[in-house]
Amino acid sequence: MTSHVAIIGLRQIGASIGLRLGRHPDRFRRVGYDSDPLLARDARRYGALDVVRGDPREAVRGAKLVLLCLPAGELRETMEAIAPGLEEGAVVMDTAPVKRAASTWAEELLPAGRSYLGLLPVFNPRYLYGRERSPEAAQEDLFEGGLMVIGAPPNASGEALRLASELAQVLGASPLYADLDETDGLVAATRILPRLMAAALVHATMNQPGWREGRRLAGRAYAEVTAPMAYQDELSDLREALLLNLENVTRVLDDVIVALQKLREGIAHQDGESLAAYLDRAREARATWLGDRLTPDRESEGPQPPEIPSFGERLQRLLFGSLGKPRKR
């Protein structure tokens, strides 16, 4: 007997999940919706869906598992839209980068008897440098060998947690349970901060008197660092994530300011030894991170118990050390 899985949002993540579930036609019936009908049509054409619906409420009707693969700015409105169509016992999961906010909305909007869990998918290392986010960039193995962080509210049921763990394994990922706030902290450090650094670099250089000539000299390093600013459709999503993850974002920005001040002091004092040590530590830390990141994660294969342990050292190592720690109050 097949299980009805609803996928709302059919860009790269949603379409990739659909493609992977398509390996098991005897287990899953994939029903999808996207606010852009062309994206939904393309996802069906690429084999990511069995059925397309023109209304999100109809897409989730009868589904045991509902996946909201949406940017943060669309999440609350979509939860409100699908709530009347959710059947008793349905589990709603999202992939947006704002887990505490999403959990609050779910508690407010979803009817009693429905569960919410947050997912933070980590891509297959082979796609680490990919930038395209459209359905055309969907890959059946997009999550193969990565982590699937499962952010769970305190009242999450064991059944919902087991379902999330099983989904992660079907996608080829290793499930790892997490605290919602710690997840948001790691997102701020590893996914939001690099984009903000790109924006800051553009503003710092374009306002210089010599930029008219300087822009012709900017090369690979400038292009690579500022690449996150090249995608207009991602900027509104970023703005929403900033406002919904305010405390963590301001904390990691403060951390960067401290790091830049330390670098500036070394330069101002012409302290070549401290500058060399600063740059060497950065190079070594990046090499360690990249080596870990390019190695498929297999340490947490198999279901974990439904309790919610700390992230621990493995996730800290994979996603930049202690940056995900919440601010002490």
Model confidence over 61-119: pLDDT tens digits? Answer: 999 999 999 999 999 999 999 999 999 999 999 999 999 999 999 999 999 999 999 99
- 43-59 in b/e form (b: 16+ CB < 10 A) is bbebebbbebbeebeeb
pLDDT average, residue stretch 262-275: 94
- Let me know: does 228 contact 197? Beta carbons within 8 Å: no
Cα distance between residue 201 and residue 41, in whole Å = 39
pLDDT for 137 = 84
Could you tell me how many residues make up the chain?
Answer: 329
Q: What percent of the chain has pLDDT over 90?
A: 71
pLDDT average, residue stretch 271-299: 88
Model confidence over 170-215: pLDDT tens digits? Answer: 999 999 988 899 899 999 999 999 999 999 999 999 888 888 888 8
pLDDT for 130 = 73
pLDDT for 305 = 41
Q: Which residues pair with 32 in a beta bridge?
A: 7, 52
pLDDT for 178 = 87
pLDDT for 211 = 84
Please give the DSSP secondary-structure letter assigned to residue 48. Answer: S
CATH 1.10.3660.10 is right for the domain spanning 184-293? yes
Cα distance between residue 131 and residue 6, in whole Å = 26
Residue 268: pLDDT band (50, 70, 90) is: very high
What is the identity of the amino acid at 188? Answer: A
Residue 134: pLDDT band (50, 70, 90) is: low
pLDDT average, residue stretch 156-169: 93
Q: In the chain, where are the structural domains located?
A: 3-179, 184-293
pLDDT at 307 over 70: no
pLDDT for 135 = 64
pLDDT for 2 = 82
Query: Mean of the per-residue pLDDT values for the chain?
Result: 87
Q: Which fold has domain 3-179?
A: Rossmann fold (3.40.50)
Pick the range with the lowest mean pLDDT from 129-138, 157-166, 311-320.
311-320
Residue 313: pLDDT band (50, 70, 90) is: very low
Residue 298: pLDDT band (50, 70, 90) is: low
Please give the DSSP secondary-structure letter assigned to residue 127. Answer: G
| pTM score | 0.85
Cα distance between residue 290 and residue 44, in whole Å = 35
pLDDT for 136 = 72
Model confidence over 214-243: pLDDT tens digits? Answer: 888 888 998 989 988 887 777 888 999 999
pLDDT average, residue stretch 252-277: 95
